[in-house]
Amino acid sequence: MKNFKIDHRITNGFEVLDLYGELDAHTASQLEDALKELINNKKSTIIVNFRELDYIASAGLGVFMAYIEDVRSIGGDIKLTNMNDKVYNVFDLLGFPTLYDIFRDEEEAVEKFLNEIK
Amino acid sequence: MNKAVTYRKKINASTQNLSDVREFVSRHAEKHGFTSRQVADVQLAVDEACTNIIKHAYNYDASKELSIELEFDDEKMNVTLTDQGMGFDVERYKKPDLKKQIARKKRGGMGVYLIRNLMDEVNYYAESRENVLRMIKNRN
């Protein structure tokens, strides 16, 4: 079984979650816990970097649906970056690009946050 | 025409077995010449269908079993999932209204939509205490 893993780091003052491996109905709770922890600590400018994520099922997308309102209501956002084509295709099929900021590169998400804060 | 080849796998109804199911699907689909895009589509569709069975048909009771059968012929790949749990409605496959769901903090309802989108044909029926989901992916 391929593992799923999340690393947490801070870049330019923004919270970054790096996802690794495969995100499905079994591993989605780990992502949920990581997001909950950030929100509970009033951290609301969150970037999720998918560079090392090989696979996503709808349970993974469901986590972003469940928490985006909480984050936006405290003035923040969850921005998604560096998805491979296979992973992006799932977000696209379900219509996420119109409601979420999805960037090719983490730098673009940082820039967008910096512009929003101005 | 070559004879169809069939592979079978049985798993307990636990989400921890989903990665094994994906590996089973991709290994055989690749071996039978499906493109990487097609393999990814079938992998996700089977994952979503198994997740629905584990969640809705068996309510996460890991003592229950579900079986997966893959059949390959010259034109297509046939996937059959069988369980003995509560049936669920795969006919409801409208595209989820993301905006509404986000506002209500609701998730889910995406699996069946994905399955219908990723596979060429999807049929579901209940027969003598068994639920059978048949999905087809064509080679072309």
Test A65 with B54 for CB contact under 8 angstroms.
no
Whether chain B has a CB inside 8 Å of the CB on A39: the answer is: no
CA distance B56 to B52: 6
Residues in B touching A77 (Cβ below 8 Å): none
All structural domains of chain A, each given as residue ranges with its CATH number in brackets, are: 5-117 (3.30.750.24)
Residues in A touching B93 (Cβ below 8 Å): none
B41–chain A nearest CA distance, Å: 9
In the prediction, which pLDDT does A3 show? 85
Task: Supply the DSSP symbol for A2.
Answer: -
In the prediction, which pLDDT does B109 show? 81
Cβ neighbours of A79 (radius 10 Å)? 23
In the prediction, which pLDDT does B103 show? 84
pLDDT tens-digit readout, B6-26: 999 999 999 999 999 999 999
CA distance A67 to B74: 45
Q: Report the mean per-residue pLDDT for chain B.
A: 92
pLDDT confidence tier of residue B129, bands split at 50, 70 and 90: confident
Does the pLDDT value for residue B89 go beyond 80? no
pLDDT tens-digit readout, A92-105: 999 999 999 999 99
Whether chain A has a CB inside 8 Å of the CB on B47: the answer is: yes
Contacts of B36 (CB under 8 A, 6+ apart): B30
3-state secondary structure of A85: helix
Q: How many CA atoms lie within 13 A of B21 on its CB side?
A: 31
In the prediction, which pLDDT does B91 show? 63
All structural domains of chain B, each given as residue ranges with its CATH number in brackets, are: 5-138 (3.30.565.10)
Planar angle of CA A10, A85, B76, nearest 5 degrees: 145
pLDDT confidence tier of residue B90, bands split at 50, 70 and 90: low
In the prediction, which pLDDT does B97 show? 87
In the prediction, which pLDDT does A1 show? 47
Q: From the DSSP assignment, how many helices (H) and strands (E) are in chain A?
A: 4, 5
Residues above pLDDT 90, as percent of chain A: 96
Residues in B touching A72 (Cβ below 8 Å): none
